[in-house]
């Protein structure tokens, strides 16, 4: 059976990775409000990725019913993801101002922190959900020691304010990454290797 792929995310970085591997897919983002409370990081991203994937799975059915989506999508897989940065067990959101960005980076400079991405794969066959796979992927990021001047110079690039953890590993922060333990693409927000493997177990080709 051939499955259509639906990416439940409007993230340009996730789309770039899907394009990089040559996947054919459509984007239907979730508009569910995120509740960031009450869970440790790995469980939180699992919960949020599942919430997004379930929301988009219902949208797929609704669009097929009204004729705005091809009936080819009666057999499809929805891929939902959510990513957080955590330091010492605390989730680091977007800093919103430069002083908070400075505090975040100064806290983990010269130390390690973690990035967790939750993944939820929902398989739809003949318009009905038949399987759900939900898990999280951790990656450890080791940051070099940084002076206050280096931190402020990085903040001046403008990359920090819309990034969880106040940095972009694929951007101007890369000189300060000493090493990583795990999947680089997980830090970007899309652990494509694990997604490929899990889909393969389900008999579904990512590309």
Q: Supply the pTM of this predicted model.
A: 0.94
Q: How far apart are CA 97 and CA 115, in angstroms?
A: 21
Q: How far apart are CA 79 and CA 133, in angstroms?
A: 10
Q: How far apart are CA 124 and CA 115, in angstroms?
A: 29
Going residue by residue through the chain, which has 207 residues, state the pLDDT in tens, using 9 for 90 and above.
Answer: 899 999 999 999 999 999 999 999 999 999 988 777 767 999 999 999 999 999 999 999 999 999 999 999 999 999 999 999 999 989 998 899 999 999 999 999 999 999 999 999 999 999 999 999 999 999 999 999 999 999 999 999 999 998 989 999 999 999 999 999 999 999 999 999 999 999 999 999 999
pLDDT for position 37:
74
User: Is 72 one of the annotated active-site residues of the chain?
Assistant: no
Tell me the per-residue pLDDT of 24-48, one tens digit each, with 9 for 90 and over: 999 999 998 877 776 799 999 999 9
Q: Which of 82, 148, 162, 183 is catalytic?
A: 82
pLDDT for position 33:
81
**The CATH number of the domain covering residues in 4-201:** 3.90.950.10
Q: What phi and psi, each to the nearest 5 degrees, are found at residue 186? A: -65, -35
DSSP state of 33: P
Picking from 190, 175, 178, 64, the residue whose alpha carbon sits closest to that of residue 120 is 190
pLDDT for position 35:
78
**HSE value, Cβ hemisphere, 13 Å, CA-based, for 22:** 2
| Contact (Cβ atoms closer than 8 angstroms) between residue 140 and residue 116 | no
Q: Where are the domains of the chain?
A: 4-201
Picking from 164, 112, 176, 117, the residue whose alpha carbon sits closest to that of residue 140 is 112
| Contact (Cβ atoms closer than 8 angstroms) between residue 88 and residue 40 | no
């Amino acid at each position: 059976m051939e499955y259509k792929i639906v990416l439940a995310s409007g993230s340009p970085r996730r789309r770039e990775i899907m394009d990089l591997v040559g996947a054919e897919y459509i984007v239907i983002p979730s508009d569910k409000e995120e509740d960031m409370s009450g869970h440790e990081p790995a469980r939180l991203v699992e919960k949020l990725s599942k919430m997004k994937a379930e929301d988009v799975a219902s949208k797929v059915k609704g669009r097929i019913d009204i004729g705005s989506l091809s009936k080819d999508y009666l057999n499809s897989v929805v891929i939902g993801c959510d990513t957080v940065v955590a330091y010492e067990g605390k989730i680091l959101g977007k800093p919103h101002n430069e002083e908070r960005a400075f505090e975040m980076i100064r806290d983990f400079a010269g130390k390690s922190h973690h990035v967790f991405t939750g993944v939820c794969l929902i398989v739809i066959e003949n318009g009905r959900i038949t399987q759900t796979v939900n898990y999280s992927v951790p990656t450890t990021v080791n940051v070099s020691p940084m002076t206050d001047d280096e931190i402020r110079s990085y903040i001046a690039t403008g990359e920090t304010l819309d990034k969880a953890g106040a940095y972009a590993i694929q951007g101007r922060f890369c000189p300060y990454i000493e090493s990583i333990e795990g999947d680089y693409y997980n830090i970007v927000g899309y652990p494509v290797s694990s997604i490929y493997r899990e889909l393969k177990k389900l008999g579904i080709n990512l590309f």
